[in-house]
Structure formats: structure tokens, C-alpha cells
Amino acid sequence: MYTYPGNIHIHTTYSDGSGTIDEIAAAASAAGLRYIIIADHETLAGLPEEGIRHGVVVLVGVELNRENNHYLVLGVDRLPRGNEEEPQEMIDRLNRAGALGFIAHPFEKGSPYIAGGKSYHWTRLPERGFTGLEIWNYTSYWRGRVTSIPRTIYWFLFNRAAAVDSPPPEALALWDDYTGRGMRVTAIGTSDAHAARVRVAGIPVEIFPYAFLFRQINTYLCFKEKMSGAFPEAKGQVYAALREGRCYVSYDRLYPGEGFSFAAFRGLREEAAAIMGEEMPWQEGLFLAVRSPARRSEIRIIKDGRLFCRGGGPELRCRANGPGVYRAEVYYRTLAGKARPWIYANPIYIRSQG
Ligand SMILES: [Zn+2]
Ligand SMILES: [Zn+2]
């Protein structure tokens, strides 16, 4: 198994971001990322710049819809139409065309101090046809935390980690709800990077530069084979992992997520019967194993939206007790002893036979 960290949902100068694709790829390379996904607002202008840049696989999708119901669409060659009023129509249409689609910031709260309290949440959540959803969007989450000016200034200048607590519980509940209805839904963590350049009291300030965001919430992809050095193949590998849910979200600021694994096994010495994102039939004697990159961690396995088993790091094994949707969460234990939300892995779908 090979894992590749990357960053999803990035804005460039083609919409309201401040960096060019090449500058952004250089920043991603310096942060150790292996792929990035650009998603400008309603334009695919960056598409001709797809390729391997600074050793990073650069992919270009698009973020559709202006007001509400923002939707990330990947794997399209021509700009599709959005649909703010009937997002399900847009999703079905793009699904038929074979595109990947992700619900962006479904529960964005906005801030009374930013853009007059404007929030770009979902007004009509879809029933079907999408690939997955953002469970953790760094920029959107931060905005929602700006409820006090003095505290925001303190966080921004001195303690940015304190502002980011856990993915919105509503987003996790929505994900569990969809998978509980028998769907396979890929959870991703994103930056929604803009690196906006503003002036505060006449002083130029760049809010969350790309180089900063590429060390916050990343999505790690799991491949069975190494990532290809040829762009078209690597692109196919990245999109296949996202489509199937072979990926996990990591808040890398706490500790890098490299080295995490979550798999189902039939016996101790056997190869994994399924890894995160995969589906398999139920059988007796199946157990689930989670490995955390850090000793200082608390591991939880969630089955059908409820805590199933938990234990200290770096490893947790527990026996599955029947068909269900099993996913893993890891909390990083800080020196002060606080367990902080860190890694969220996509489910292993254990289905009843027949
Ligand atoms: Zn958006
Ligand atoms: Zn965006």
C-alpha cells in the first residue's frame, strides 16, 4: 500500500485566488504534497496547465454555483452548467457524464464579521449521484469560528491551531447518514485556499497563504501500486482513489498523517481483505485494524455512525460483529493531554451476503 498526501479545492488567479497554478504547485511541492486539485469558481481556465509540475500532480476541476449549493466537479473537459435551484439535476447530469462530484462545505456557517454574515451552505442536499462530500474545509470552518474579534486576532496571530477543533459534527452526521442508506460516499478534507491579499490598517496581509494551508487539512490517497510518473496514468490513479474512497483526511498541523492505515483482515498473517473505501461480504472471524502514525493517539472505530471500539495508539484491532459501515477516527493526544481530532478514514463497507 502506498499513500500520497495532497490538497483539494484550491482557487487561483483564474477566479478569486492570488496565486498562479505554477506558484501553487511549487508551494505544494515544498510542503511535501504529491497532488493538488484546483477548483476555481465556474471556470476551467486552468485545465491546459494540468500536468506534473515541481513533482506534483496538478489536476484541474471546477467549483460550480455562485450563491448556495457549491459543488466540486472533477474529471470534466468542458465547463458544465451549475444549478443553484435544483442541485440534484446538476448532480444527476454530471454523474451520467462520468464526472466526480463533491458537496462543498454543506453546513458553512459564515461569520457576522465577514462579508456581512454571508454563508455559502447547502439549501437542498442531494439524495444521490455524487461521489462524496467535504467533511472538513479549512477556510470555511475558520470563517464559522470568527465570532469574536479579539479572540480571532489572538488565534490568527498566535494560535491558529486553537481555532480548528473538529470537523463540523453535522457534516460527519450527514456522511454517516448517507452511508447508512447503502451509498458509498467519499469524505474529503480540503483547504478552499484563496491566499487573499488584503490591507489591514494599510499593511499588506496575505490571509492563509498556500504554503500555510498545504500543512493544515490534507487528503491522503491510498494506492495499491506506486503513483505513475506519467501524467495521464497518475491522474487516473488519483481520481480512482477518490471515486472509490481509498483515502483519509488528516489535520497535518497536529502531526503528519503519513503512515496511517485502516483495513479488514480475515486472519493475522493474511493480506488485507479490504482497505478503506472498499466493499466486502461479511464473514465470521473478520477483524479491523487501525495503525496510527503517532504513539500519542486515541483510535476509534465507528460502526454505522456509533462508537464501536476504542483504544490507545499506535494500533487498535477489534473483531467485527456483523455487516455494517465501519470507519476510523484518530485523535492526537497533545502534551497537555487533550485528544484532538486528527484523522478521519473512509469506511470499509461490510455487506451482508445474499
Ligand atoms: Zn465554495
Ligand atoms: Zn471554494
Q: Would you say residue 115 has pLDDT above 80?
A: no
Mean pLDDT (whole number) for 188-211: 90
Q: Would you say residue 149 has pLDDT above 90?
A: no
Mean pLDDT (whole number) for 120-146: 92
Q: Cβ of 45: how many Cβ atoms within 10 Å?
A: 16
**Which conformational region is residue 143 in: left (phi greater than 0), alpha (psi within -120 to 50 degrees), or beta?**
alpha
188 or 110: which leads in pLDDT? 188
Q: Find out if CATH 3.40.50 is the number for domain 261-351.
A: no
2-251 against 261-351: fold identical: no
Q: Would you say residue 202 has pLDDT above 90?
A: no
Mean pLDDT (whole number) for 176-200: 95
Q: What does DSSP assign to residue 272?
A: P
Nearest-angstrom CA–CA distance, 41 and 61: 10
Distance 75 CA to ligand 1 centre (A): 18
Residue 48 backbone phi and psi in degrees, to 5 = -65, -15
CB 319 within 8 A of CB 339: no
Distance 168 CA to ligand 2 centre (A): 17
Q: pLDDT category, 111, cuts 50, 70, 90?
A: confident
Distance 149 CA to ligand 2 centre (A): 24
CB 38 within 8 A of CB 13: no
Nearest-angstrom CA–CA distance, 118 and 138: 17
pTM, two decimals, is 0.96
Q: What is the pLDDT of residues 60-106, one digit of tens each?
A: 999 999 999 999 999 999 999 999 999 999 999 999 999 999 999 99
Extents of the domains making up the chain = 2-251, 261-351
| H helix and E strand count, the chain | 8, 22
Q: What does DSSP assign to residue 44?
A: -
Q: What is the pLDDT of residues 159-168, one digit of tens each?
A: 887 778 899 9
Distance 62 CA to ligand 1 centre (A): 10
Q: Is 65 exposed, middle or buried (0-12, 13-18, 19+ CB in 10 A)?
A: buried
Q: Cβ of 271: how many Cβ atoms within 10 Å?
A: 9
User: How is domain 2-251 classified at the CATH fold level?
Assistant: TIM Barrel (3.20.20)
Is residue 293 reached through a cis peptide bond, with omega within 30 degrees of 0 on the bond before it?
A: no
Distance 342 CA to ligand 1 centre (A): 23
Distance 174 CA to ligand 1 centre (A): 18
Q: 342: which 3 cell numbers?
A: 486528527
Nearest-angstrom CA–CA distance, 195 and 147: 21
Distance 285 CA to ligand 2 centre (A): 44
Q: How far is CA 311 from CA 179, 248, 255, 293, 330, in A?
A: 24, 19, 19, 14, 10
